[in-house]
Structures are given as C-alpha cells and as structure tokens.
Chain A
Amino acid sequence: GAGVSQSPRYKVAKRGQDVALRCDPISGHVSLFWYQQALGQGPEFLTYFQNEAQLDKSGLPSDRFFAERPEGSVSTLKIQRTQQEDSAVYLCASTISSTGLSSYEQYFGPGTRLTVT
C-alpha cells in the first residue's frame, strides 16, 4: 500500500512569501504529526492531529505557522511571511492510533525541503 506522501518535495520561497506544504497520510491512520528538521539536527515536534482535531500545537515556533486537517485525512502546514530561519525539512508522520489505543511507531513521509532566500 502507499506510504505517507508529501508535496512539494522541494520549495524555494523568497523571504516574506507564504507557503503551503501538503501531507497525505496512510489511509486509515487516525493520528498525524508534523515535525521540523533543521540541518544536522533531529526532527522536532510541531503539531499533532487526531482525525480533524488539532490536539497539540505546542511545537509551532510562532503564530506564522498554521496547520489544518479539515476532513481528518490530508493535512496542510502553512507558513506565513517566511523567514530565513524557517529553512528546514518539514516531515509529516502518521500512525494508526485512536482513542484508547496507543501506537508509537510513526510512519514518515519523505519530507519537504523548504529554503527561504
């Protein structure tokens, strides 16, 4: 079956532009996570959805970052007025866990590499 897919794979934005990054999780996966991976670092948690509900957005670095998952499947991470420090790989992961059942093994997409110039 298909894994997690992300688009675009690469995005170059001029400082101040808005960008939208898309994630298609594995079909049937309830939980969806966004992570940011800076060069030479490990992925860092941004936000978490269970179905369409955004249950944790504590990792979003500023109010310029916004994520949504309106129908509980595809998710979009939007960054407004991009800054150079936003340059990173943005990873999406999904897992099958639902209320009452934990699943720690997250399946990651290939990521979107964002470069802000």
Chain B
Amino acid sequence: DQQVKQNSPSLSVQEGRISILNCDYTNSMFDYFLWYKKYPAEGPTFLISISSIKDKNEDGRFTVFLNKSAKHLSLHIVPSQPGDSAVYFCAASGASNFGNEKLTFGTGTRLTIIP
C-alpha cells in the first residue's frame, strides 16, 4: 500500500524553463510534507517543506504547493538549472506520530535538465 505516490519516474526539462514534480498521498493523517533531492551515492538532502495549514511555501527558485482536498502536492523549480538534475523524493509525516516524525517516501522522480 503506497501511501505516497510519485507517478512520473522521470522528467526532462530544458534549462531555464520550469520543472514541475508531482506527488499524491492517500493518508489523511499526514500533515507535513517535504521534498528531498538525491544525487548518486549520496544521502537525500532536504530541499523544502510545507505544513498542512499552508497551501504554498517558497524558497528561492523552489516553491511547493499543497492541495489538501485533492491530497496532492507539487514542487516547482524555476528557472531550472543543470545542477538540479537529481532524483527528487516527496515525503510525508503525520501529527499522530508526534515525537516520532518518521517519514513516508514516494518512489522518486528523476529530473534531467537539458542544457
């Protein structure tokens, strides 16, 4: 039972354009969502997060949007740069886990930025 889903295994975007990565979740108890970026042979690196009380959070080139009614979130990267090429994981955690913020991850989307 995949509680966090990333339905696009891969995405290619031209440098300078917008990259949009999508994520869906099924567990309504999730109330905090994160995006991690992973390069080969490295651990995931935290990128940006959003609490369920918000619908948007922005940090530089990165913006995360949350649609609670649709149980959907997306990560926008604009403008996309070659260094953004990596695997992106969506992750979620729930208030019921207070004190144990274990993360449930999606399967990842490989983003390739084309120069």
Contact = CB atoms under 8 A, between A and B. Distances in A.
Interface string B32-58: 101010000111111001000000000
B49 A33 contact: no
A99 B99 CA distance: 6
Contacts of B98: 102
B43 A31 contact: no
B44 A91 contact: yes
A104 B107 CA distance: 19
A44 interface: yes
16 contacts: A4-B43, A42-B4, A42-B6, A42-B91, A42-B105, A45-B103, A45-B104, A50-B99, A56-B100, A56-B102, A91-B44, A104-B32, A104-B103, A107-B46, A110-B41, A110-B43
Interface of A: 4, 31, 33, 35, 40-45, 48, 50, 55-56, 59, 91, 93, 95, 97, 99, 102-111
B34 A105 contact: yes
A22 B108 CA distance: 26
Interface string B9-41: 000000000000000000000001010100001
Nearest to B51: A104
A48 B105 contact: no
A108 B43 CA distance: 5
B44 A43 contact: yes
B93 A104 contact: yes
Nearest to A31: B101
A48 to B, nearest CB: 5
